[in-house]
Amino acid sequence: MIICKKIFEYGWIDNNGQRHYGINNAKSYRLQEPSELLESHLGICLDMTELYRCFFENMISLKYETYYLFYDDNKGCPSHSILVYYDNNKVYWFEPMFNDYYSGIHEYDNIRELLKDLMNVFIKSSLNKGLIPTNYNFDNIKVYKYSKPKFHINGYEMRNHIDKSEVINI
């Protein structure tokens, strides 16, 4: 957790390997492999979640899952992905990168409670950043549990991967 907070910045790498800061462009964004992210030190939540997945697959013997939440507005579709893990009959969201509402390790009694809180945090953060309208439609918020994607895909290909994943009703 501490290492991630210290060495990674929010941004993205495009198809040509160029660095960008801020919100990614779905067409030119490229999902990095964990080794690439460790070299670039620059990623968005999707890149970071795959790094966490790699860490949990190879270093930690705890059950984990990955979730993607987005506001479907047929425009920019603000979104966030996280890794959650299970330990001692509790579930935790693991988010060391951002120094805002998402950051930290948060403990819950069950996955439904975690996802409800994630949704509330997502709404609050998105409203504060002006990413969703103040009169947002709650039904436009979608949550998916998704599997490991292919690396080097763009944002549209990532959304296609997620759209084929399990929809979670909160």
Q: Quick one: which of 64, 60, 17 has its CA closest to 37?
A: 17
pLDDT for the residue 22: 80
pLDDT per position in the chain (170 positions), as tens? Answer: 677 778 888 899 999 999 999 888 989 999 999 999 999 999 999 999 999 999 999 988 899 999 999 998 776 678 999 999 999 999 998 887 656 667 888 999 999 999 999 999 889 988 988 889 999 999 999 999 999 999 999 999 999 999 999 999 98
Predicted TM-score of the model (pTM): 0.92
pLDDT for the residue 53: 95
Assigned token pair, 91: 């579930």
pLDDT for the residue 158: 95
Residues 68, 142, 13, 153, CA torsion sign = positive
pLDDT for the residue 170: 86
Report the Cα 140 to chain-centroid distance in Å: 18
The total of other beta-carbon atoms located within 10 Å of residue 96's CB is: 18
- Largest pairwise CA distance in the chain: 44
3-state helix, strand, coil in the chain (%, to 5): 35, 30, 40
Q: How far apart (Å, rounded) are the C-alpha atoms in residues 70 and 73?
A: 9
Classify each residue of 26-49 as buried b or exposed e, where b means 16 or more C-beta atoms within 10 Å of its C-beta: eeebbbbebebbeebebbbbbbbb
Domains of the chain: which residue ranges? 45-168
